[in-house]
Amino acid sequence: SENVSSSSSSLSSSVGVNRNTNVAETETEKQQQLKSNVHVDTDAVQKAIQTLSVKNKDAPFQQKFAAWQQKQNQNQRRKRKEKQDHSNPHFNSHANPHVLIPKIPYSVFHKPKSTPKSRQATADFTRSATLAEAVVRLSLLNSFTGDNDNDGGGGGDDDNDDDDDSSLVMIDVVGVDHVECQNASTIRNTFRPFVRWLRDYFFYGQGRRSVPIHFRLIGRELTAMTMAEGVVVDLLESPTSSMRATATCHYGVYHEFLEERRKQQQQQQQQLQRVEENDQKIENDNDNNNDVPLLSAKMAPDLTIAFNAGVWGYQEWATTFQYLARSKHSSSSVATTTTEAAVETGTRNGDFTGIPIVITAYTLDECQEDQEVISEAIACARSTSTEDANESVSSPFRAEILWESERNPFGSQVVRETKGSNQEYRENSFWQAWLLGGSSASCSS
């Protein structure tokens, strides 16, 4: 009985302790809940402290108040950024270190220690990222808007802007082969990232509608095993997309392709003139130009790029650069300065309209050899033009190097297997840029 009595008293004591503990925990929870529900008017607190700071000239108090005020300002800025990031998750200056390239694709090119997965990602993104970096570095985004003079115009006409040649962004990718044009999926995988980045830049970064964009993929290495010539490929595959983006493949050497288009355009203009003189209606024949519905009369590209072109190994490239330097066609206006590397006749400085062309290479040696071949071709053609007595003074030969051979920050990190060379070959590892043809701002077109 004594044992039972002892057990009962112990049990009672234990229950009493548990009850007291539960009551204490409940009181603590209530106090914490009350504290969390209390709304602190930070503005009122700040005003009160400012009033005290005026009356209190104590240095430690002033320092504490300044520290508190700085912390409040930091919290407010952080909240504003969080709100901006939440409403604009795809495009904001805080998240993206690059104007066009999002944070994740950008980061794979700049990892302190790469992995097989990150290296493969650089190979997948290298062409789109190189395009994006070229567009930003050449300051072409403003020329891509297509409606600078009508920025504040009524929105009712926006739906018809796609038919305006000036609003179309056209990029020529030259020297292509099966790597870019194996099939429609290959084309989309290669260029769709750039298209999406450009779309997000306009929509999220600028708060405006995206402009239509078209890629002309031109190369003599295209065969029956690659994408059929002239077939229009929708890069976004979405009829409801806010951006129209297409691509077409074309067989041939670049300068021959441009010359053929120039002749077609000239014939169309002559036909239009004859019809207008006879007061008749014209019917456009698009059988030999499948991208006319999108491109219409626009011929000169906003940007030309040659990936791993191997200019030094093909004689046709020299003729292409000579043709471009003589051309009066111009879509882009690039700010240039007088440099020792410039090889241009006529006026320099200011805006120089022409066709910007970017050339990439596997190695620095190849890139420098490409640059040497281009410089020699231009110098040779310029001397020939000077000696030609029939050369028109109003059609000067223009060429300027925008940046010399250097490492491309968005080159692939995957090493290509090569035989008989100790160098490491990576796609788009080095690059250079030129501005060819057109006219300077002080000259008439």
265 with 390, same domain: the answer is: yes
Take residue 30 and report the two structure tokens written for it: 């209530």
User: Does residue 179 belong to any structural domain of this protein?
Assistant: yes
pLDDT value at residue 270: 77
pLDDT value at residue 159: 44
For residues 275 and 244, give the distance between their C-alpha atoms in angstroms, rounded to a whole number: 32
297 with 427, same domain: the answer is: yes
**Structural Rg of the chain based on CA atoms:** 32
pLDDT value at residue 210: 72
- Please check whether residue 441 is in contact with residue 353, taking contact to mean a CB–CB distance below 8 angstroms: yes
Please tell me the pTM assigned to this model: 0.68
Who's near 288: CB < 8 A, 6+ residues apart?
A: 264
Take residue 146 and report the two structure tokens written for it: 């297509």
pLDDT value at residue 5: 54
For the ranges 37-46, 77-86, 241-250, 279-288, the lowest mean pLDDT is seen at 279-288
**pLDDT reading at 131 higher than 80:** yes
Residues 45/50/51/53 CA torsion (nearest 10 deg):
120
Span between the terminal Cα atoms of the chain, in Å: 118
245 with 141, same domain: the answer is: yes
265 with 388, same domain: the answer is: yes
pLDDT value at residue 239: 61
pLDDT value at residue 66: 81
Number of structural domains in the chain: 3
327 or 255, greater pLDDT? 255
347 with 329, same domain: the answer is: yes
DSSP string, 305-328: EETT--GGG-HHHHHHHHHHHH--
H or E element at residue 435: strand 430-440
4 with 67, same domain: the answer is: no
19 with 110, same domain: the answer is: no
User: Does residue 9 belong to any structural domain of this protein?
Assistant: yes
pLDDT value at residue 299: 74
Give φ, ψ of 26 to 5 degrees: -65, -45
116 with 134, same domain: the answer is: yes
Q: Which residue has the tokens 């990576």?
A: 426
DSSP string, 78-143: HHHHHHHHHH-SS--TTT-SSSSS-HHHHHHTT-SS--HHHHHHHHHHHHHHHHHHHHHHTT-TGG
pLDDT value at residue 68: 80
What residue type is 314 in one-letter code?
Answer: Y
- Please check whether residue 401 is in contact with residue 329, taking contact to mean a CB–CB distance below 8 angstroms: no
Domain containing 73 equals: 41-87
Report pLDDT digits (tens) over 3-54: 545 555 554 555 455 555 565 566 666 666 655 555 667 777 777 767 766 6
Average pLDDT over residues 213-225: 86
203 with 256, same domain: the answer is: yes
Average pLDDT over residues 247-258: 92
Strands 350-361 and 332-336: antiparallel
139 with 238, same domain: the answer is: yes
User: Does residue 412 belong to any structural domain of this protein?
Assistant: yes
Among 59, 88, 69, which residue's Cα sits nearest to residue 200?
A: 88
Interior CA angle at 175 toward 171 and 176, to 5°? 80
E strand segments, 252-397? 303-306, 332-336, 350-361
Residue 112 has, within 13 A of its CA and on its CB side, a CA count of: 0
55 with 75, same domain: the answer is: yes
Percent of the chain at pLDDT exceeding 70: 63
Among 232, 235, 265, 248, which residue's Cα sits nearest to residue 165?
A: 265
User: Does residue 16 belong to any structural domain of this protein?
Assistant: yes
Please report, for residues 14, 32, 73, 142, 393, the alpha-carbon distance to residue 18 in angstroms, rounded to integers and kept in the order given: 6, 21, 46, 73, 103
133, β-bridge pairs: none
For residues 397 and 324, give the distance between their C-alpha atoms in angstroms, rounded to a whole number: 9
- Please check whether residue 245 is in contact with residue 236, taking contact to mean a CB–CB distance below 8 angstroms: yes
pLDDT value at residue 241: 66
For residues 268 and 104, give the distance between their C-alpha atoms in angstroms, rounded to a whole number: 47
198 with 298, same domain: the answer is: yes
pLDDT value at residue 337: 46
User: Does residue 309 belong to any structural domain of this protein?
Assistant: yes
**pLDDT reading at 377 higher than 80:** yes
User: Does residue 336 belong to any structural domain of this protein?
Assistant: yes
pLDDT value at residue 397: 75
Give φ, ψ of 159 to 5 degrees: -65, -20
E strand segments, 129-211? 169-174
- Please check whether residue 371 is in contact with residue 405, taking contact to mean a CB–CB distance below 8 angstroms: yes
User: Does residue 411 belong to any structural domain of this protein?
Assistant: yes
User: Does residue 350 belong to any structural domain of this protein?
Assistant: yes
- Please check whether residue 219 is in contact with residue 177, taking contact to mean a CB–CB distance below 8 angstroms: yes
Give φ, ψ of 281 to 5 degrees: -90, 140
Q: Three-class SS of residue 19?
A: helix
Percent of the chain at pLDDT exceeding 90: 36
- Please check whether residue 204 is in contact with residue 243, taking contact to mean a CB–CB distance below 8 angstroms: no
Average pLDDT over residues 262-277: 76
DSSP string, 48-88: HHHHHHHH---HHHHHHHHHHHHHHHHHHHHHHHHHHHHH-
